[in-house]
Structure 1
Amino acid sequence: MSFLPPWLGLLWVLLALGALAAGVLKRGLKNHASALPDEPLAAASAQGLGVDVQSRTNRRIHQQHLADLNRALAEGRLNAQQHAAARDELMRLVLEDAALAQPDEKTPVVHAKAGGARRDQARAEGLEKVRWAWLVGALVLLSGLSYWQLGAPQSWWPVPLSQQVKISATTPEQLAAQTRVWQQATQERPKDAQAWLTLARLHAAQNAHAPAEQALARVLALSPEPDLWIERAQMKALSAGGVYAGEPWQWIQDVLRDQPQHLNALVLAGSAALSEKRHAAAQDYWKRALALVPADSEAGQGLQQALAKAAEMVAAMAAAPRATAAAGAGPLSAATPAGDAKPLIQGEVRVSPEVQSQIAAGSTLFVYALAEEGSRRPVAIWRGTPTSWPVRFALSDSMGMGAPPVLSSLAQVRLVARISKTGSAQKQAGDFQVELPGVKTGVQGVVLHITGR
């Protein structure tokens, strides 16, 4: 793999083309100079018509000398500068002879003709230089435009590692198979940051947030990019059940301290603030993020939806005091959503007698909704520690992770109910679980029946 950026290769090509054009320009100017007629010398010689024999002899000598100079230039024994100097000296001698032969008012005419010839020659050389300069510039511009249109101009700048890894697997079987492949790859190449990032995102796609966060830690040790710190903060919070306190918040703030306009950091900061019921802070972060993206883009529309939901929560909290939990409500009190948000999906979780006999005291029940397509990040999470079965639950927008999509923006979701002996938000061996796809938002009376692992 080459470590030279592609734009450097293009620069070398353009420089080579420029050098080639400059060489052609130099040769063209040299040929043009040698082809110019020697009007001053011819004019000076013409002034010697009718003079004595000595003048004619001198003229023949000068003409022979001029022929020798031209021959020396053509054979390379003289360069253009030396040839021009010798020719000027020869012309001076011719003019002196002409002045001696006819010391009258015609002499200034000879000088005028010689000066005009030199000016014409200089003007011609200047025009030739300008013409070749335009040709070189047009060649460079054409090469750049061609590369921009047909090449890969985005490769002029290195693509960040966070944008190089895409997960193609979609089914659980494909995800599991690719995870095994990349686990082996990281063992063989422990310093391959791209391999570790691929493994991290495969874990994340399977909701294995804790292993994903650990793999991201290895990535950041090799390539500490701000986007990857934000990704790790999200995985750390999800593995802790959506709690951003501690390291996740610290990582987010570190990125925002260095880059106050970092889009992903602002979005996740809003999610973290909303998870702590700090609605005003969440709105502030999301407004700053919205100013960085087009309003009609997918990201812009998602942020607008999140801001609207946060505004609704603030208005609902200001309009009425928080409801006091009903005494003796038992499992139903745990089903009441936080704040005053309207329940969007309600139902109950049942367990088979075989599973109930294996549930340890103090086990945690998680019920969460996932988008049917796209990110595997839960859009709403309910948790409780049941003491009897069945257990009622309710999901609303206020129980989401804060970032779009929100539960109310989805037509249908996949519901997951999981019983965790350790209380970890990350699935562990020995957990009992059931999934129910195609649950429409707004439905009531959903039954999740757990019969095994």
Structure 2
Amino acid sequence: MTEFWLSAGLLLLAALGFLLIPILRGRRRQQEEDRTALNVALYQERVAELAAQQAAGVLDETQLASGRDEAARELLADTEGGEAQRQGYLGKALPLLAAVLVPVMALGLYLHFGAADKVELTEEFAEAPKTLQEMTSRLERAVQAQPDSAEGLYFLGRSYMAEQRPADAARTFERAVALAGRQPELLGQWAQALYFAADKQWSAPLQALTDEALQADPKEVTSLGLRGIAAFEGERYQEAIDYWQRLLALLQEGDASRAALQGGIDRAAERLGGKPAAPVAARVKVRVELAAALKDKVKPDDTVFIFARALNGPPMPLAAKRVTVAQLPIEVELSDADAMMPQMKLSDFAEVKLVARVSRAGQPTRGEWIGQGAPLAKGTQATQHLIIDSPDL
């Protein structure tokens, strides 16, 4: 705040300058006014003397008039060139008072309506908080200063959850959703806070919130974890395992949460009977053909990649097989055994998309011709049909 008070002091000096300069100039005008008043008094005394002489018979009417005219000319000559007399209604005390009060009032209005609190918060956030309570206090003041900041509300809600204050967190996330819209991450955080605020009692509103979040983003981690917790608490252990395995597939290697999550999966497996729980293997059968119009545009040894990738997920294929044009038409089966990465499998995603690509250079990410299928729900048993018939742009 040092810079702010320095600026306020400079503004105060400027205000004093604007108001005191006219007062100093007024001293010169006062001297002129005093001289003019003396000349008027002398004029009046001269006229009174002439009137007395006329009453005594010394002067007649013509001489009296002539004397008055002469005195008036002398008065005019003495006051000629002086400034017109100005009557000051404010006096000297009021401008001095205003010189002090104007900056003070401006400062008061700034502190009340301005952004001094935001300046203080900015300087305060430049230093790391010493405790979680201190961080929460800062975030509360930040939200008070900027009540329309959905980001500030989000972080405040997370801080409340860390302090084991789920009811406060639920109200805060609700405000964030009202400002930022029904984003999957916000819905997941809101549902989690409501769940713990209700003493871990699952309800229809929580089901609806997490359904909405996962429908918009099947990888919304908070909703996946919460559904796993709710299933475990409700003794639906296989359901808990399914949700947690989906979440585990989204976490990077080395993530500290993976060990805790795997521990939960193992405990759920023990409750099922002591046997390790394995995810239900996903299998997709697909028949791939080449469009008749392309048979003269490809070579028998051109590579054909057949793969499935998540509809709402990473672009990397979940499962893939490699054949050649000479083997078309062909029917293949894609499963978790064909996974490109062990932590990303077909069984981890609700919907996938099938793709077949002809690549003369043998590159799975680019080629000359392509065929794509419609979104496919997990667990579909019917054989899918792909025709390679479009340029790979």
Structure whose CA Rg is larger: 2
Fold in common (TM above 0.5): no
Q: TM-score range by the shorter chain?
A: 0.3 to 0.5
- Relative contact order, CA 8 A, sep 6+: which one is greater? 1
